[in-house]
C-alpha cells in the first residue's frame, strides 16, 4: 500500500461530491406518493478507483456520494415523502458492505476520510428521521454483511427476510481484522441496545445471524417470510408514512401564529424545490462558487474559504422563498460551503489549515436568519436550518486546523458567526486597517447562536460548549444578542480568541499559520478531535470518537494492513499472519 493510493477511474483527478439522479450509477430512486424507494443496485464497473470491482452491492465512496445526494434531494425536492424504503435491486444480497479490495488498496488517509463521509451519510439518514420526519425502513431481502448491515442500522425499522439463508452480520473482525467502523459497534450497543455479550458473539461470528434469533437479539425489528416480504415492507412503509405528520406540522416546530395563510395550501406544503447544479469554476489555485470562494495557497498549506453575505434582502414570504429555491442565499451558501469543505478534505490532503473569512453586511445575514426563524414551521425553512446544522457539524469533524479571521467588511453574524465558534482559533481586528476606510469589523450574535438549533455532535450549541466552565459568559452572550460587538467587546465576552490591532495583525496571523503548518499533521488531528468536543458525548459523537479513533488505529496496524495482514490477504487463499501481542 503506497500512501498515494490507487488512481481514480475515468481519467478523474479529483473526487467530486456533486451528482444528481440522472447520473447515478448505483441507486434508483422511485417515488410513490408519500413513500420513496431507494434501490441499491451497484454497478460493478462503476468503481471510483482502479483495481477493484464493486461486486455483490459492495460500495466505495462513489456509491456513498450518490446515497448522500439522494437523501438530500428527498428532503428538498420531495418533501411529501414521509417514508423511505432502502432495499437491494439484486437478488439474494442486500449489500456486502465496503468493498474489501478498495479498502486493502486505499491510502490510510482515504480509508479514514471514506469512513468519516459514510458515517456522516448514515447520520444524515437518522437526522432526516429526527428533524424532517422522513422515516427509513431497511428491507433486507438477502445478505446484509458488514457495512451493509451498518447501513440498515441507520434506519428506523429493519425488516429481514426470514428464509433459510439470509443473515445480518458484522464479519469485519473475523474476516478482515478491522472493526465495523461505520457506526456499527456504537449503533449495536447505543441505538439498538443489544446486550454486550450478545453483541460480542454477533461481531465475532462471520456467518451472521438469521431469522428469529436476529429478531430476539434485537438486531432487526421484524422478520417476514419470502412470500410475504414485499407486502410486509409495503404495508409498513404506508403505515409509517400515514403516521407521520405532514411537512408543515411537525409538533416541535409548530409556530402557527407565524404561518402565512398561503402555506396551508397542500400544493405548497408538498412542492419541493430543485437542487440545481452548483455553479463552480475551478482554477489551479481555487474554486469560485456563487457565494463562496476557495483560494488555495498550497505552498503555505492553506485554504482560504471566503463566504459572501446575501446580496438581497430575504424574500417577502414563504412562497417567495420557494420560488427562489436553491438560489435562496442561505441554502446556496450552505451547499457551496459543504462542497468546498468536502473537496478540501478529500482532494487537498496537504492543506494544514482552513481560514474562514466573510464579506458582506452582517445585518443582512441576521435578516435572513430572522426570516428563516419566522418561517420555522414551513418545511423549507426548517430544512435549510437543518442543512446548516449538518454542514457545521461536518466542519467540526474536519481534520484540518480551522481559523476564522474577522476583518473589516466581514459579516460574521448569526448563523455565520458559528464559524467563529467552530474554529480552533479566531482573530479579530481592532479598529481599521491603515489605508482601508471600511469601518472596524463587528460580530453580531443572533438566536441561531443561542437557541440550540445548530448543535454540535455532542448535543450542545457551540457557545454552550465553549462556555461550559463559564455559565456567566454564556448568559452574557445571551444578553448582547443583536448588538454590534467590536473586537474588544468580542474578546472580553470570550467570543474570539484574540483581538489584535493593525500593527500586530499581519505578523501574528502569519506566524500562527506558519506554526500550524510546521506541526505534525497527525498530532493536530488528535488534538483538535479532543479539544473541539468538550462535555457530553452522544451516540453520534461516540461514533466519531470511541469507534473511529480505534478503527483508525487498527487501520495502521500490520494485523490489518501489513503485507501479511487480513485486509491484504483477503481473497488470496492465504491466511493472514498476526502479531499475537495484545496491546
Work out how close the CB of 82 gets to a copy of itself at its nearest, in angstroms, rounded to a whole number.
Answer: 26
Q: Which helix (H) or strand (E) holds 228?
A: helix 226-243
Among 12, 195, 281, 438, interactor with a copy of itself by CB under 8 A: 195
Region 473-532 residues binding a copy of itself, contact defined as CB under 8 A: 494, 497, 515-517, 519-532
Among 22, 197, 434, 573, interactor with a copy of itself by CB under 8 A: 197
Among 29, 103, 318, 560, interactor with a copy of itself by CB under 8 A: 560
- For a copy of itself, the closer of residues 332 and 516 by Cβ is 516
Burial class (CB in 10 A: 0-12, 13-18, 19+), 520: exposed
Work out how close the CB of 54 gets to a copy of itself at its nearest, in angstroms, rounded to a whole number.
Answer: 24
Q: d(Cα 260, Cα 264) in Å, to the nearest integer?
A: 8
207 is an interface residue for a copy of itself by CB under 8 A: no
471: Cβ contacts below 8 Å, ≥ 6 apart: none
Site string for a copy of itself, 208-237 (x = CB under 8 A): ----------x-------------------
131: Cβ contacts below 8 Å, ≥ 6 apart: 382, 386, 389
CA angle 113, 115, 118 (to 5 degrees): 110
- For a copy of itself, the closer of residues 164 and 583 by Cβ is 583
- For a copy of itself, the closer of residues 15 and 188 by Cβ is 188
390 is an interface residue for a copy of itself by CB under 8 A: no
- For a copy of itself, the closer of residues 111 and 335 by Cβ is 111
- For a copy of itself, the closer of residues 367 and 491 by Cβ is 491
- Of the chain, the end-to-end C-alpha distance in Å amounts to 24
Q: Which three cell numbers stand for residue 400?
A: 484540518
120 is an interface residue for a copy of itself by CB under 8 A: no
- For a copy of itself, the closer of residues 359 and 549 by Cβ is 549
Q: d(Cα 356, Cα 404) in Å, to the nearest integer?
A: 5
Q: Which three cell numbers stand for residue 256?
A: 402557527
Q: Which three cell numbers stand for residue 421?
A: 465558534
8 is an interface residue for a copy of itself by CB under 8 A: no
The DSSP 8-state label assigned to residue 428 in this structure reads E
- For a copy of itself, the closer of residues 23 and 581 by Cβ is 581
Site string for a copy of itself, 350-389 (x = CB under 8 A): xxx-------------------------------------
How many Cβ atoms from other residues are within 10 Å of residue 235's Cβ?
A: 12
Q: Which three cell numbers stand for residue 211?
A: 431469522
Q: d(Cα 187, Cα 170) in Å, to the nearest integer?
A: 12
Work out how close the CB of 533 gets to a copy of itself at its nearest, in angstroms, rounded to a whole number.
Answer: 7
Please, are residues 205 and 169 in contact by the beta-carbon 8 Å criterion? yes
Q: Which helix (H) or strand (E) holds 304?
A: strand 302-308
How many residues contact a copy of itself, by CB under 8 A? Answer: 92
Please, are residues 411 and 359 in contact by the beta-carbon 8 Å criterion? yes
Q: Which helix (H) or strand (E) holds 307?
A: strand 302-308
Q: Which three cell numbers stand for residue 254?
A: 409548530
Q: Which range, of 32-40, 147-155, 325-333, 547-555, touches a copy of itself by CB under 8 A?
A: 547-555
578 is an interface residue for a copy of itself by CB under 8 A: yes
Q: Quick one: CA dihedral 316, 375, 135, 336, positive or negative? A: positive
Q: d(Cα 568, Cα 485) in Å, to the nearest integer?
A: 56
14 is an interface residue for a copy of itself by CB under 8 A: no
Q: Which residue has the cell 421484524?
A: 222
Concatenating the DSSP letter of every residue in 161-200 gives: E-SSS-EEE-TIIIIISS--TTTHHHIIIIIS---HHHHH
Region 129-188 residues binding a copy of itself, contact defined as CB under 8 A: 172-174, 177-179, 185-186, 188
Among 425, 432, 433, 492, interactor with a copy of itself by CB under 8 A: 425
- For a copy of itself, the closer of residues 71 and 112 by Cβ is 112
Work out how close the CB of 454 gets to a copy of itself at its nearest, in angstroms, rounded to a whole number.
Answer: 16
21: Cβ contacts below 8 Å, ≥ 6 apart: 29, 69, 70, 73
Backbone φ and ψ for 480, nearest 5 degrees, come out as: -115, 20
55 is an interface residue for a copy of itself by CB under 8 A: no
Among 225, 313, 536, 563, interactor with a copy of itself by CB under 8 A: 536
- For a copy of itself, the closer of residues 260 and 504 by Cβ is 504
- For a copy of itself, the closer of residues 71 and 115 by Cβ is 115
- For a copy of itself, the closer of residues 52 and 421 by Cβ is 421
Among 7, 12, 92, 196, interactor with a copy of itself by CB under 8 A: 196
Among 219, 294, 306, 554, interactor with a copy of itself by CB under 8 A: 554
Burial class (CB in 10 A: 0-12, 13-18, 19+), 264: exposed
Site string for a copy of itself, 287-306 (x = CB under 8 A): --------------x-----
Work out how close the CB of 146 gets to a copy of itself at its nearest, in angstroms, rounded to a whole number.
Answer: 13
Angle between helices 108-132 and 329-347 (to 10 degrees): 160
550 is an interface residue for a copy of itself by CB under 8 A: yes
- For a copy of itself, the closer of residues 247 and 455 by Cβ is 455
Amino acid at each position: 500500500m503506497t500512501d498515494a493510493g490507487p488512481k481514480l477511474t475515468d481519467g478523474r483527478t479529483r473526487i467530486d461530491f456533486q451528482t444528481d439522479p440522472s447520473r447515478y450509477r448505483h441507486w434508483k430512486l422511485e417515488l410513490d406518493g408519500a413513500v420513496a424507494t431507494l434501490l441499491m443496485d451497484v454497478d460493478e464497473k462503476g468503481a471510483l478507483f482502479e483495481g477493484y470491482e464493486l461486486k455483490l452491492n459492495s460500495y466505495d465512496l462513489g456509491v456513498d456520494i450518490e446515497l448522500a445526494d439522494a437523501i438530500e434531494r428527498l428532503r428538498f425536492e420531495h418533501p411529501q415523502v414521509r417514508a423511505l424504503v432502502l432495499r437491494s435491486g439484486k437478488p439474494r444480497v442486500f449489500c456486502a458492505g465496503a468493498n474489501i479490495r478498495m479498502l486493502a488498496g486505499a491510502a490510510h488517509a482515504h480509508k479514514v476520510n471514506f469512513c468519516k463521509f459514510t458515517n456522516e451519510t448514515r447520520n444524515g439518514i437518522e437526522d432526516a428521521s429526527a428533524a424532517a420526519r422522513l422515516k427509513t425502513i431497511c428491507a433486507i431481502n438477502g445478505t446484509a454483511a458488514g457495512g451493509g448491515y451498518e447501513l440498515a442500522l441507520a434506519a428506523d425499522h429493519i425488516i429481514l427476510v426470514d428464509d433459510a439463508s439470509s443473515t445480518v452480520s458484522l464479519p469485519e473482525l473475523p474476516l478482515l481484522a478491522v472493526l465495523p467502523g461505520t457506526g456499527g459497534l456504537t449503533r449495536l450497543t447505543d441505538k439498538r441496545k443489544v446486550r454486550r455479550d450478545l453483541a460480542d458473539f454477533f461481531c465475532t461470528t462471520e456467518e451472521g445471524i438469521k431469522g428469529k434469533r436476529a429478531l430476539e437479539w434485537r438486531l432487526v425489528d421484524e422478520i417476514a417470510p419470502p412470500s410475504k416480504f414485499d407486502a410486509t415492507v409495503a404495508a409498513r412503509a404506508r403505515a409509517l408514512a400515514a403516521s407521520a405528520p405532514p411537512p408543515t406540522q411537525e409538533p416541535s416546530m409548530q409556530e402557527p401564529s407565524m404561518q402565512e395563510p398561503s402555506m396551508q395550501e397542500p400544493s405548497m406544503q408538498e412542492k419541493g424545490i430543485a437542487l440545481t447544479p452548483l455553479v463552480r469554476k475551478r482554477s489551479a489555485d481555487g474554486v469560485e462558487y456563487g457565494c463562496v470562494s476557495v483560494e488555495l495557497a498550497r505552498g503555505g498549506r492553506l485554504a482560504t474559504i471566503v463566504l459572501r453575505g446575501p446580496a438581497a434582502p430575504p424574500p417577502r414570504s414563504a412562497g417567495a422563498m420557494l420560488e427562489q429555491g436553491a438560489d435562496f442565499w442561505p441554502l446556496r451558501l450552505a451547499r457551496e460551503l459543504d462542497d468546498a469543505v468536502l473537496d478540501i478534505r478529500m482532494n487537498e490532503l496537504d492543506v494544514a489549515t482552513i481560514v474562514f473569512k466573510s464579506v458582506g453586511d452582517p445585518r443582512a445575514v441576521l435578516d435572513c436568519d430572522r426570516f428563516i426563524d419566522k418561517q420555522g414551521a414551513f418545511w423549507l425553512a426548517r430544512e435549510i436550518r437543518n442543512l446548516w446544522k449538518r454542514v457545521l457539524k461536518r466542519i467540526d469533524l474536519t481534520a484540518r486546523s480551522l481559523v476564522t479571521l474577522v476583518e473589516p467588511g466581514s459579516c460574521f453574524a448569526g448563523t455565520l458567526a458559528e464559524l467563529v465558534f467552530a474554529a480552533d482559533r479566531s482573530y479579530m481586528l481592532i479598529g481599521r486597517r491603515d489605508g482601508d476606510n471600511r469601518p472596524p469589523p463587528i460580530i453580531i450574535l443572533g438566536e441561531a447562536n443561542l437557541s440550540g438549533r445548530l448543535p454540535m455532535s455532542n448535543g450542545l450549541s457551540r457557545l454552550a460548549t465553549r462556555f461550559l466552565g463559564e455559565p456567566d459568559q454564556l448568559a452574557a452572550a445571551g444578553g448582547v444578542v443583536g448588538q454590534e460587538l467590536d473586537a474588544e467587546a468580542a474578546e472580553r465576552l470570550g467570543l474570539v480568541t484574540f483581538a489584535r490591532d493593525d500593527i500586530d495583525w499581519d505578523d501574528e496571523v502569519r506566524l500562527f499559520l506558519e506554526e500550524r503548518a510546521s506541526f505534525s499533521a497527525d498530532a493536530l488531528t488528535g488534538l483538535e478531535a479532543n479539544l473541539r468536543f468538550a462535555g457530553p458525548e452522544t451516540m453520534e459523537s461516540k461514533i466519531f470518537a470511541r469507534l473511529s479513533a480505534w478503527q483508525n488505529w487498527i487501520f495502521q496496524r500490520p494485523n490489518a494492513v501489513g503485507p501479511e495482514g487480513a485486509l491484504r490477504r483477503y481473497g488470496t487463499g492465504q491466511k493472514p499472519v498476526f502479531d499475537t501481542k495484545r496491546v
